[in-house]
Amino acid sequence: MALKELRPSVMRSSEWWKREQRDEGQWQQLRDQIKRRDNWTCVYCGFRSYKFMMVNHIGAEDNHIPENLETICKPCHAVLHIGVNALSLIQRLTRWRLCVTHASWFTFRRHGR
């Protein structure tokens, strides 16, 4: 099997598929079918495992046909969606910074400085 080139991508939140809109039982069966088809091997790096593999949409997130799905390992999936992961990290860091700022202010006020 020829490996695909891994390119980081960014998706707008409006493009994210809403998990609650799909039938989990059917999705589990389809994921198992795709992993079997791809021999439990990541199409980007060639890592093979019966555990830890994910199924990724190649195109539209709401198109669940087998031709639009691929087996991918978790590290490659993180790189593929690095824009989404970076946005999540920025949001978490911003919340953490606000917490630290508030904690510093209360400490400052408590000691009368």
pLDDT tens for each residue of 17-55: 565 577 889 999 999 999 999 999 999 999 999 988 999
Question: The whole model's pTM is what?
Answer: 0.65
Q: What sections of the chain are H helices per DSSP?
A: 24-37, 74-80, 82-110
| CA pair distance 82, 77, nearest whole angstrom | 8
Tokens of residue 64, six digits: 């669940």
| Distance from the first to the final alpha carbon of the chain | 66
Tokens of residue 10, six digits: 């960014």
